[in-house]
Chains A and B, each alone.
Chain A
Amino acid sequence: MIQVKYFGVIAEAANRDSENIVEENVTLSKILSDLSSRYNLGEYNFQIAVNRKIVSNYSDEKLSNGDEIAFLPPFSGG
């Protein structure tokens, strides 16, 4: 099981703060493209963190059971 966390405008677009995804042998890029099309995230700017570390290149990194992904958009209010 992989936990996905959403912040800021992404949480609004996905209409949730988090969810669990049950998939085996899945890559980060596959999950991202699935979620991106499911919630229409194409127009948003965000970074991705895996297990609390921001990743700059989404390679074919395989995710393991218990991993956490976070969608981090820039905030602009003040």
Chain B
Amino acid sequence: MNRYIRQITLPQVGLSGQQKLMESKVLVIGAGGLGCAVLPYLAAAGIGKIGIIDGDKIEESNLHRQVLYSSEQIGLQKAKEASKSISRNNPNVEILVFEEYLTSKNAPQILQEFDLIIDATDNLFVRYVINDTCVELGKPFVYGSIHQFQGQVSVFNYQEGPNYRDIFPQENQSAPNCAEAGVLGTTVGLIGMLQANEAIKIILEIGDVLSGKLLIYDLLSNSQQVFEFGKVPTRKKSDISPSFEMIASEDVFLGKVLLLDVREFGELPEIQLENLLQIPLSILAQKQENLDKEKEYIIFCQSGGRSLKAAQFLSEKGFQKLKLIRGGAKELIQATKNEKSIS
């Protein structure tokens, strides 16, 4: 217990608090910028069991903000390397590594093993999967996300409190910016730290948890603002019908389908499939005559924003059979690899 003596000394923690930390099971979804801030502090604090899920590999352009990784780890799996890094600090923590992306298919099984979920993803579609699974399983989740120098933090589904859909009900209305926006390491670091802090407060049952409150932190002005929200009782899950069907990337291989990649030429990961057509969103208006209105198209981009815009545009032009891939290009390439290894 000497390891934790300086936090046990706090009257709000004590031996009983340390016991709570050591008995808790926390899943961190995403081992990117936010995850790299969340994970070491949870491990160092003595959380009993930590799950890390991420299907991504370390890239050079990650290193300025994903500080758990070093240059010689480029190309290696994030989840595994993050696990190694945090167990060097605290070998007492049991770590479960999931080298895959979270999808609506694997989510219930993975989430049910944990008491508390931390959303450290950079993907709006996955956020709805996390939200809906947490609501289904009755688990709280700590949300964090950033936009340039601003960050949002909140705790959803905590003690039957409101969830993400009570603020942003419909995934198909979301317009994330697919193109990788700029970010400073300190921004994700600080927001991730706030997430870890909320997680520890929830486990210790101390302080005011950000349930029903959306914190917006602006790092340029150093201002913090808290916006309150409640449950929206009239909004049932069944009322939310996205106008475009979202399909899981692995379902792309069922039957004969046409894939439409609306990313700009040269964006990574590059995907080459026989049934794939690439028309960047920026030139879709000029090139739409290359598409057949009678055919079904499954559209994707990097993480969902441009594919939605493309679908809305084509729908206005009379295309009726349009679907979107949940998770975008990165999940599709993962599914492509899985498919190849099966067949």
Contacts and interface: CB of A to CB of B under 8 A. Distances in A.
B188 A74 contact: no
A20 interface: no
Interface stretch (B6-14, B100-108, B120-128, B261-269): B120-128
B167 A52 contact: no
A45 interface: yes
B177 A9 contact: yes
A77 B167 contact: no
A54 B169 CA distance: 13
Contacts of B227: 49, 52-54, 70, 72
A43 B176 CA distance: 11
Contacts of B151: 75
A77 to B, nearest CB: 4
B216 interface: yes
Chain B residues touching A, range: 35 or more
Identify which of A43, A73, A74 gathers the most chain B CB atoms within 10 Å of its CB. A74
Nearest to B309: A43
A6 to B, nearest CB: 11
A10 B151 CA distance: 14
A58 interface: no
Chain A residues touching B, range: 20 to 34
Contact of A52 (B145, B168, B170, B225): B225
A15 interface: no
B174 A52 contact: no
A47 B176 contact: no
A54 B214 contact: yes
A39 interface: no
Contacts, number: 88
A78 B121 contact: yes
B229 to A, nearest CB: 4
Interface stretch (B30-38, B239-247, B280-288): B30-38
Contact of B123 (A45, A53, A76): A76
Given A52-B225, A54-B167, A77 B303 contact: no
Contact of A74 (B30, B34, B120, B145): B145
Contact of B124 (A5, A44, A76): A76
A75 B121 contact: no
Interface string B158-200: 0000000001101001111100010100001000000000000
Nearest to A43: B175
Given A45-B175, A76-B147, A54 B188 contact: no
A45 B176 CA distance: 9
A72 B216 contact: yes
B132 to A, nearest CB: 15
Nearest to B231: A56
Interface in A40-78: 43-45, 47, 49, 52-54, 56, 70, 72-78
Interface in B180-236: 181, 183, 188, 214, 216, 221, 225-229, 232
A47 B122 contact: no
A78 B175 contact: no
Contact of B174 (A5, A7, A45, A54): A45
Given A9-B177, A76-B122, A76-B147, 11 more contacts: A44-B175, A45-B168, A45-B175, A54-B167, A70-B227, A74-B127, A74-B176, A76-B303, A77-B145, A77-B146, A78-B123
Interface of B: 30, 32-35, 120-124, 127, 144-148, 150-152, 167-168, 170, 173-177, 181, 183, 188, 214, 216, 221, 225-229, 232, 303, 309
- Report, nearest first, the 10 A-B pairs whose CB atoms are least far apart: A78-B122, A75-B145, A54-B229, A76-B176, A8-B147, A75-B147, A77-B146, A78-B34, A45-B173, A49-B227
